[in-house]
Structure 1
């Protein structure tokens, strides 16, 4: 029986994970669940899965959750705050941690899981984007197992030989090909993107995701962050990572080999597939996802990305090449800018302008410690906030 902690249980990844777990009650048991503020949803999950512990973001949320669980006579222990998140991630009572908290808030508990030697199902991009070397060092030093949940990285993981070593050219790998749908604005006239609304940006053509990650997909920052992740996960330099626009989202990513072969992972666009793959690895379990019918698809298309349309993707490559804390600057500025856009304080194309200014107007340094990374993150957020305030006037 594998005991699971889910960080970010009420988000789309957390909900999909619980759906897979519910299909295999003989294999998996939920140890702990966390959510930031969705108390009612978390209470419903606790009622169904009866975790030993539940963590929320604030004392007020904890009080509300405690009251709801008391009404149901559940024995779940309610806690709140970052220290509690780190505790459930590192607990001896859990075997596997689904790291699905969105944003920089997921960094500390995911790192705690690595230092505790857990099996980590990584859906939190920031652990690698902000502190890739530090995080990977912790994984290796403490014997943690790291399995990617992003559909693209999971596809690459499945397309690589199990003997693959994290270094350029290992096992005859020539290039890693990250596929991208292109989001909702792939064919929209570039000059009209100034007037995009949050609701339009959140209407992804293939995937059902949260609002922040949906905007990241529309700007292709999501793919840029995945490029940085792929660098750390697979030991590939930026020159060996290529982004390919694939609007159908059937091929989730590919690996090109020196002999001319290209191995790809295909499937319907449903996050339960990579979740099930990582949960059961190296075995396979039923995920609830329908089998792919290639005859109903008919045509698969591929295009090179247009950096004029997607400047955020170019900025992500730039930050990877710069190294150190440059990706932390990128990530923090993006989070601030996207939130401002969702709140209608800035326009859609202001997102990449804010990020570019933060990156080019602030120094980056070697990522020598988590404190250094977090200090860079705080500095970038303050800078981005000032820029947003100027744009919003």
Structure 2
């Protein structure tokens, strides 16, 4: 029936349950898997109280060990089949992680926590429910030391709920609180003091723009289509300029000559180099003098600019841009080494100035975007937002 009429699988009965909800309640897990395979969006169908099948599985512990293992496997399959389901909220503004912590379902929480780390979505741990509690607040109020230890280092230790309480304050008010956990939270608070949120979202919007925000266009804050165009053009420029460095105008000498009369053919074919009476060696660039330096500087400026653009755009697109950084670093070093090997050693002063230019260009291209973006991220970490994912300058769907 779900194949012939897919909309039926999303219908709710009078009690507010979908077919998948009912299958979970009756423990028909094979049918649940069949429905999830047929349409992963069924995992996000909200039933009574805004509960989705993912929320339901995250809160269930099962009657025995075998059922618990099956529920955990089903939870992992739900997350893998529908990544965005982790963002769904109940009527209490709770995610699946909130529910697992509130119901003290440690095994389900470990599955959710491990998946969030692998998908770089740990910021969801800082989302707040209708009372302003994030996952750490809930774990502390439920006295769950195992969950608290997992969360330390992955959540804002100084985030406050709507009662103006931090997790540490809630734990200290509990006479049965774990003292080892209290010590860890205090230590984490001291370490995070410089980077903890001190502004609400409304307060942040009233502050002056950061350097990153003022130059957001350069550092890659645009729509998806603009990102693609910038990366495509920058890649083409980097490819063309790198190739131009390997094959400069005029090419290379194919033979050697110690005097201009020793190779009259070369003089005729390449008057720009040999007509001046300069000897040359096979494999040297034919282009020389101020023309060579001008070409090298202009070509290098275009190359490093395109590399810097690729790097800056990669920072904005990826949460972990190390591979982009590593790739552009290797490419930039290869470019400089290729010029060092091919460049004629006839003017030491010009060569020193050229290598100094290369060094400054490489440092500015690789370090400037990283430093500016790092300052921007640290500024954003000072914000204590209720529920917010992604960049504050963009809507949730990236449009």
Confirm or deny a common fold (TM above 0.5).
no
Name the one with the larger helix percent. 2
TM norm structure 1: 0.27
Name the one with the larger strand percent. 1
* Structure with higher RCO (Cα < 8 A, 6+ apart): 1
TM norm structure 2: 0.27
Q: Which has the larger radius of gyration?
A: 2
